[in-house]
Amino acid sequence: MSTHINAANKNDIAESILLPGDPLRAKFIAENFLDSPKCYNEIRGMLGYTGTYRGVPVSVQGTGMGMPSMGIYSWELITEYGVQNLIRIGTAGSFHEDIKVRDIVVGMAASTDSNYIHAFDVPGNYAPCASFKLLSELEATSKQLDIPFKAGNIVSCDVFYELKEDWWKKWASMNVLAVEMEAAAIAQVCHVYHKKFIITRSLSDVFNKGKSHIQFDEYLKEASLQSAQMCNELVSQL
């Protein structure tokens, strides 16, 4: 049992885990994708479940929003429960018109405007890269399911409501595909402990189309379904 996760035994959590931010999304995935799911965590309402997918043990754990929260859960899952494969799923905002709502973006690397990585005493700017093994397996899975995705750099930002409306344009000009709030933290923790990770994001809004908050509310649940299916298939083949 760790500070923020009250699973009784190490084996209560599978070696491969899906990590949505919303605990209710974790509950939804467990109840709709996993066989015989059992809840192992309810601390702070951050629900965690373990079940099986095609006979393979899989866990799904809510992590909350932002890099500090993601850092806590990924750290404890690795150090206290021996998790080996961490798969972040959720939503993101697209910077480009050709990456549309409901498309899936896979983060090959995680840029950030956060100081989170400075806590690891890295003497410079460091962009953690996703596991090539998981990326290769995910590509094969996406072809099998006919669920295409775009892969590239994404950026993790600390601020949801920015004062400047055009703040995202510089990131877009550097061919960063999308923005979210957690990838850089889970990536850094996994690199420290030499664990595999990959970031999958379903696009819930597109910045240059305006009114992104309306799009976000409309597509929040729907946007993650294909991503969850693809990631469960990925885990079943590891």
Q: How far apart are the C-alpha atoms of 139 and 7, rounded to whole Å?
A: 32
DSSP for 167-197, please give it. Answer: TTHHHHHTT--EEESSHHHHHHHHHHTT-EE
CA distance 67 to 65: 7
Q: 19 near 63, Cβ under 8 Å?
A: yes
Contacts of 163 (CB under 8 A, 6+ apart): none
CA distance 120 to 192: 9
16 close to 236: Cβ distance less than 8 angstroms: no
Q: Which is it for the CA torsion 125, 131, 132, 137, positive or negative? A: negative
Among candidate residues 12, 158, 166, 205, the one labeled active-site is 205
Does residue 205 carry a catalytic annotation?
Answer: yes
Q: What is the set of active-site residues?
A: 205
